Amino acid sequence: MKIAVLPGDGIGPEIVAEALKVLDVFRGEGVKIETEAGDIGGVAVDRQGDPLPAATLALCQGADAILFGSIGGPQYDTLQREMRPERGLLRLRKALDLFANLRPAQVFPELAEASSLKAEIVAGLDIMIVRELTGDIYFGEPRGIAINAAGERVGTNTMVYSESEIRRVAHWGFQAARQRRRELCSVDKMNVLETTQLWRDVMMEVAPEYPDVKLTHMLVDNAAMQLVRNPRQFDVIVTGNLFGDILSDEASMLTGSIGMLPSASLNAVGLGLFEPIHGSAPDIAGRGIANPLAQILSVSMMFRYSLKRPELADRIDRAVRSVLQQGIRTADIARPGEAVASTARMGDAVVAALRAQ
Ligand code: IPM
Ligand code: MG
């Protein structure tokens, strides 16, 4: 198994280092894992003048899976758009056609108190957001800022989806639902936007192929409200790139900490990029206090979805549960007065739990 490792910026390198400890445990048990590191994001701009250097893209194209940290930082905010760290990630998603983005939001029983919602609202929460990742207003043309006839600046982005783009992610949504409670909620804004009228139409066209899955539809504004009103009504949510970006951040907070949530971005042949859904957290970077669990759980998703070693994924999931049960907490998930573990201490605890299995 060849894994491209892209630590990126901010806390990325610190938490990726902890995830690599997990790979070392499996290597020690004889699992054949090769890793090779590449630059992406701000660090790639600094070193190579490009947020996605050709060598990094080639490394990813030749790998079985990509383990990604995080990108971005305030020092890059004034760069022109093509040089921004985010462009590196967006270009990589597009180049590898990673259209299916799985973002689970699960409340660990040990952390139900850490949510900003009441524990009784979120206890047992288990949502899977399937976000389309290579289309929509993120990539639509025309785009840009131009001067109109009146000499005024006008900003343009284009929300666009073809039916084939919608259909292929619809299948991911239905199939994810099939592995779970068989309820799929498609989120759109069809009362206003034609693009999402087509989204809804295609969802309904695909539905007969999955008679065992119950398909419902919800407008995105209502979905944002329902997520904080009664989040447990959702099983799988399928939605477009922009709505999925926003709703997945919202859903993450229900679980207590954005520092706990992994994600998988997959293409049609199973190549995937695995990253925490949180960003580079420049405010805490370099201090050794970031929570590495989202990154470690991203390794679990990598074994499950790209490397097809679900038993290793299960072991990581169990090890993470076990450290939480032991009461080990990084600052983001600690309650006032609770002892706080460093990034490395948390990673070491997961390693110890894996070895003890
Ligand atoms: C995410 C992030 C990215 C996105 C940024 C960093 C480009 O917010 O993965 O959710 O908007 O997709
Ligand atoms: Mg986001």
Average pLDDT over residues 8-35: 98
The protein residue with its alpha carbon nearest to ligand 1, atom 2, reads: 245
Is the pLDDT confidence value at 112 over 90?
A: no
Ligand 2 centre to CA of 241 (Å) is 10
Taking the complete model, does pTM exceed 0.85, yes or no?
yes
Average pLDDT over residues 91-110: 95
- Residue found under tokens 């549960």: 321
Compute φ and ψ for 134, nearest 5 degrees. -125, 10
Percentage of residues in the chain having pLDDT higher than 90: 90
pLDDT in tens, 151-193: 999 999 999 999 999 999 999 999 999 999 999 999 999 999 9
Average pLDDT over residues 18-30: 97
Catalytic residue among 9, 39, 76, 138, which? 138
Residue-level pLDDT at 225: 97
Q: Counting atoms of ligand 1 from 1, which one is nearest the CA of 90?
A: 7
Is 9 in the active site? no
Judge if the beta carbon of residue 14 lies within 6 A of ligand 1. no
Is 138 in the active site? yes
Is the pLDDT confidence value at 13 over 90?
A: yes
Ligand 2 centre to CA of 280 (Å) is 11
Residues, CB-to-ion distance under 5 Å, ligand 2: 245
Is 64 in the active site? no
Q: Counting atoms of ligand 1 from 1, which one is nearest the CA of 263?
A: 9
Of 33, 9, 15, whose CA–CA distance to 298 is shortest? 15
Residue-level pLDDT at 114: 80
pLDDT in tens, 268-282: 998 999 999 989 999
Is 221 in the active site? yes
Is 332 in the active site? no
The domain over range 107-261 is classified in CATH as 3.40.109.10: no
Residue-level pLDDT at 318: 97
Residue-level pLDDT at 331: 93
Q: How confident is the model at residue 257 (pLDDT cuts 50, 70, 90)?
A: confident
| Fold equal for 1-99+267-357 and 107-261 | yes
Q: How confident is the model at residue 113 (pLDDT cuts 50, 70, 90)?
A: confident
Residue-level pLDDT at 328: 96
Domain ranges within the chain, ordered by starting residue: 1-99+267-357, 107-261
Alpha helix (H) residue ranges in the chain:
12-28, 42-48, 54-61, 85-95, 119-122, 163-178, 194-206, 220-229, 241-254, 293-305, 310-325, 343-355
The domain over range 1-99+267-357 is classified in CATH as 3.40.47.10: no
Contact in structure between 89 and 43 (CB atoms under 8 Å): no
Q: How confident is the model at residue 116 (pLDDT cuts 50, 70, 90)?
A: confident
